Chains A and B, each alone.
Chain A
Amino acid sequence: MNTPTDPALELDEVTVSYGPAPALENIGGVVGPGEAVALIGPNGAGKSTLIKAILGLVPLVSGRITVLGRTPAQARREVAYVPQADTLDPEFPISVGQVVLMGRYRRIGPLRRPRAADRRAAGDALEQVGLADRARHRFGTLSGGQRQRVLLARAIAAEPGLLLLDEPFNGVDAVSEQALLNAVAVLKGQGTAVVVSTHDLALAHLACEEVCLLNRRQYGFGPTRLTLTPDRLRATYGGHALELRGDRVIVAHS
């Protein structure tokens, strides 16, 4: 079984396709416990597809994915996934506290009531994202950034070995971004591996030791400082004019 020194995630020549042409080809890399990797690439590059493959929700054409020493489907209970908050129904009659408690559902099982430990885990998770005072509010009454934090709290409450975030910083205010980053840092400190897809290079520098440059193929996978070079970024983003200002990519579509 998995020991703390084993990698949390291994990608080995991963190829995925929805139709005749592959959406991802020969992706490979290793993420250790407590490490974070940023998936960087333009829209349609296959970032979401890779995350779904790690969850075992799309089949592989070839290659292998190992999560915490097991297949993705077997490891799912120890993997947490944070969807984008704006895909959820804001009118759904559910409180913030209940959403976070959902992270414990797989542990609670169908018949048992949530134990004190479950409630404490949920409460702590909400605390970590700075929303402890909102537990009784309806989910939909929060701002977009706050909703994203609640979904992260749900993932934290699940105490995962691997955390997957799909563009969690889109349309999120600065306060929420900081809260999200802090929470991710705490999780990494506890040994959780993190995969986050993003457009934000500053974020990759701040929070991730590794980056994976993707655009159907892999344009680089390795330590952030060595991999995030202007040349490689230009290659990843194709022939489009690309400018690196500060730490942000600015892509001008032709």
Chain B
Amino acid sequence: MPAKIKPAQGSPYARVLGVGGYRPTRVVPNEEILKHIESSDEWIRSRSGIATRHWAGPDETVTEMTLHAAGKAIADAGLAPEQVDAVIISTVSHFKQTPSVATEIAHRLGTGKAAAFDISAACAGFGYGLTIAKGLVVEGSARYVLVVGVERLSDLTDLTDRSTAFLFGDGAGAVIVGPSQEPAIGPTVWGSEGDKHETITQTLPWDVYRDGGRPEKYPAIRQEGQTVFRWAVFEMAKVAQEALEVAGISAEDLDVFIPHQANMRIIDSMVKTLKLPEHVTVARDVETTGNTSAASIPLAMERLLATGQARSGDTALVIGFGAGLVYAATVVTLP
């Protein structure tokens, strides 16, 4: 007989307790993008719904943006930083491989010795982080978990690439996940489709420089736009539908829909396919924020709550999807 191991004491359920966001001060209108590509404001708006995006300045680093967003989320949850005992940062645009940016964040926020690590799940990063956080809270390894999606995608944008130059933005969105007596985060429908890993990808790995390469262009994100669009409108609507079903929520029960803010056309198509009733508030933050990858869902969530378009206690469907390809969808009660 092996010795008996005492398990951790978790919480019956988990919930999102607070949210916070940071958008860089510099607003970049489509006109500025047109200096680099042959396009038009009208084309960009009609194909993506994007009018402006925020691009970070030199001082608005991944770390600094995260500290702002995280500080707000912690305050929104009514916590003190030292109560946070795990920090999960989802990003693809922090250019120092090790240590994780999460450790510096945990320290500078004043969490004490919170467990801290980064994850890489591109535009599904928020849902991946949320799922891990929920697991930690329910299992008992952490009581309050900070989950942040943060990107400086402007650093990974080729301004001369017509299919991406207008798309990406920068920012940070954070939530606190903590214990709950009621279910407030549904089951996650998530996965990966690695057979499509080439459809959104960094053009070159960093080690081209180590190996003496002097590529003409700095590595950037490139994509097969139509293939990704097709996958998003067709497959992701099914994933969103499944997330509702496994949570036992009908479209009628739903108050808010917060899809990853990739492209307004994808959002419109999903709303149609899901047959969301008129009363459901749909996040359309992409218009002024662009695609901020892992940050897009918490940023949109914060804005909907701040502007009164959504309310605390509302039932929201969230779905992220992107490079990998990866996806994650779930239903949450808004903080």
Same assembly:
no
